[in-house]
Structure 1
């Protein structure tokens, strides 16, 4: 048996379980009155295993675009074989997945966005700037455009946009220019070469803070390769629409743009759509979500970060669906 190449420590596990529990500790609409939980980013199955253990009346629908991750989770979750449906799919495909499984609604959903431990720790996947590998970065290696194709084919303007918007990289234009110059000599195929180009393009004073100088560039390319933000913009509303009243969704974001999409989607549904100034709430115009993390996103504790350094940038948001006409 091949063991997972990444050591998966689920981020904010206790808090996620606490937030999901009210939606799962009740009679469900699934087979035999069971509740349905969706893990839209299954990964190595750490969060999913904890949910299944804590809620023996819950059925898991686990989605992942990474076939390697699915194989590992299949083995990890084997003790729960009669309560799991693991599907090779991207999370914006959730409605189609539910139809194929004969499910009309779900009780809860969890999304742990971004790159998984498996992908980050696997040198041959090309996600890590600290290890030399082919420039791939596809979460689903069965389809799509690779980072190598983007690096060697995008124009200077296109590369600059990707690095500036998705990586929030101040030196995006300089890095893009260096890439264009280098690829004119020979195609850029190595993650180590790309990391070196980035480092040499950033002024020495700026390299002394903020971690590895290639971090933002690699993040930006990964987001572009996998269409992460556009996919998330589609996936979150579809997930909310699939939840039963009292259903809950928990989102772990690691990038400001991911978190912004989550915040905007939650806030829009937590507000009334009735015209301002009416003395009563018109039927069908009330809020459909109740925010569970008021005052903004929840941050990890120092203890959490010490135990799991990858939790350092996490932002957690959660919401509960409510009946539009009857309120919470």
Structure 2
């Protein structure tokens, strides 16, 4: 391992220790601050024509201080992902992953995440990660970075609420290191992504470069319990703004500056897909819904995968089987070519 890889492990261990201590000190019972008398100064108001959403920075600082105070710092910068000689326009596959998910990344690299040129677009993947407390996971990640050069690692802990930090920091990363990407697909490592269908979708959709594409959730109900719980003290309203489901969506390059600017003034919401919805609303961006973004799964039939842009929640073995059936054995009519 290179010396700087050893430093990553040391920095990560120290960071996670201090992070855990700070988090325990700051948490209130059930993670819920006492409700105040009402929205404080600096409250952000975001109307969408149906509702006006109010975000009180003081409430966010009280309940999720680590999300509001974090400043993006890259331990592995991924500065070679978008470099190279000028060529076809770039379609970047930005994949949220966990340090422990090396097998998922390996499967993706063998199938849908391998680089190439497809339909006039250069397709390139980058994996987005936070820190793990397991040195073994971090060592494997460093080896992957050296071999493939497709990893960006930040020094926040890889936990559920920090996915919103991954969203915010990625917007900064794109602006600094990959501003030439014409389209950015954001997805997860536990899914089947179909780059030929994705490129075909871009080429066939009018005004594709002017809207955000995905499976759009419209005024979803706020959940007060379970994994996606949000307290009424943090967000008292009962509905969210529209947002693209985090399982997979497509951003055009023109949307990135507005989203990044909004991330500098909007409190970091603890659910990453809802957070993007707030950023898009603040930036005045529009959506296009398409059912081919199969974020909630579908009937497990090979040719349906060929029609989808993505299918969320697919096992590793099934990803390999589907890829082989569509693009090696060619068992479905109408599937496009593989990246060259």
Decide: shared fold, TM above 0.5.
no
Q: Which has the larger radius of gyration?
A: 1
More strand by share: 2
Give the TM-score, by structure 1 length: 0.30
More helix by share: 1
